[in-house]
Amino acid sequence: MIALLTDSTSDLPFKQAEQLGVQVVPLSVKMQGKTLQDWREVDPDAVYDHQKAGGTVATSPASISSFVATYKQLLETHEQLVSIHISAQLSDTVKHARRAAEELGATDRILVIDSGLASIPLTEAVLVAQQVIQAGGDFARVNAAVRAVRQQGQAEFTVPSLEYLRRGGRISRTQELVGNLMNLRPVLTFQQGALHPVRRVKPEVALQDIIERLEHQFGNTPVSVAVAHAGRDPVKLNVMRQAIGRSSLKVHRGRFQLIGPVIGAHVGPGMYGVSAAPVDIYKDSG
């Protein structure tokens, strides 16, 4: 048997992960003088409320010791373990996972994968890996499937405010001022493991712009679609659901996820995104 593990930046709800048999190792959020486990000890809205009040939030990767403890437990009941994580360009979590496997002398039993992703596309990689494992796939098949998600899937995000990207050092104060003057917001996607702006659009058309790009990319291909939002805004969530429903995307499977505390600490409240990937991607990965 192969066990499956990810980290909390997948933003996969812990209850859902438990139902799927996926273990989740949390990263940490530091705010108001406390260090809190992502999702387990801090809710996303607590982070966003703190940011809106002018507070700062820092994050730290999952520790080597937490990986050692989780790996030891899983290897007592499983022959092998796949551990899929946030991009190494965004966090040292992957490095810590690999160190833990080395410390246990179990690198032949533990496959640590740098997904090159985070949040909803990372969840997609985890779900596809689970399908491969359930179908009897080995390490090579799982690795190929995750790579296929990265190469064939697409996830785009945007923000209503540039303030938090500037606070996090992702844009300069000048870029923030120019963006506000021109009423433009970046659309960001994962490239080589990091989030990069690929175009700038008016905020009122950003969602439709993202959906149209996905429609053009996937055409009539049945897709798994995920929508993510930083904060529990029922009005925005309903707008996003309706927009997906009106689109020409051939949605075979859909889900909604909140953007969690660690990711939210870097992007701020109100960020949202849509991801899509072919539903048969795991069957075509080798």
Question: Tokens 């979590």 label which residue?
Answer: 93
pLDDT tens, 167-211?
766 667 777 676 777 878 889 999 999 888 899 999 999 999 999
Higher pLDDT, 159 or 4: 4
Last residue of a domain, one of 152, 184, 208: 152
Rounded to 5 degrees, what are φ and ψ at 224? -95, 125
- Domain extent for 202: 154-278
% of residues, the chain, pLDDT over 90: 82
Residue among 80, 65, 78 nearest 113 (CA): 80
pLDDT for 14: 86
Question: Tokens 């003057």 label which residue?
Answer: 181
Q: Is the pLDDT of residue 240 over 70?
A: yes
Last residue of a domain, one of 125, 152, 179: 152
60 plus 172 within the same structural domain: no
pLDDT for 82: 98
171 plus 124 within the same structural domain: no
Last residue of a domain, one of 120, 152, 184: 152
20 plus 72 within the same structural domain: yes
The CATH number of residue 200's host domain is 3.30.1180.10
% of residues, the chain, pLDDT over 70: 95
Let me know if residue 283 belongs to a domain: no
The CATH number of residue 134's host domain is 3.40.50.10170
Q: Is the pLDDT of residue 236 over 60?
A: yes
Burial class (CB in 10 A: 0-12, 13-18, 19+), 147: middle
The encoded tokens of residue 262 equal 């660690």
DSSP letter at 67 equals: H
pLDDT tens, 28-53?
999 999 999 999 999 999 999 999 99
Query: Sorting pLDDT into bands at 50, 70 and 90, what band is 1?
Result: confident
163 plus 124 within the same structural domain: no
147 plus 168 within the same structural domain: no
179 plus 68 within the same structural domain: no
Q: Is the pLDDT of residue 63 over 60?
A: yes
The reply to whether the predicted model has a pTM over 0.85 is yes
148 plus 170 within the same structural domain: no
In 31-154, alpha helices (H): 44-52, 64-75, 93-103, 120-134, 139-152
Let me know if residue 284 belongs to a domain: no
Determine the average pLDDT of the residues in 101-113. 98
pLDDT for 196: 87
pLDDT tens, 247-273?
999 999 999 999 999 999 988 999 999
If one counts the domains in the chain, the total is 2
Q: Is the pLDDT of residue 285 over 60?
A: no
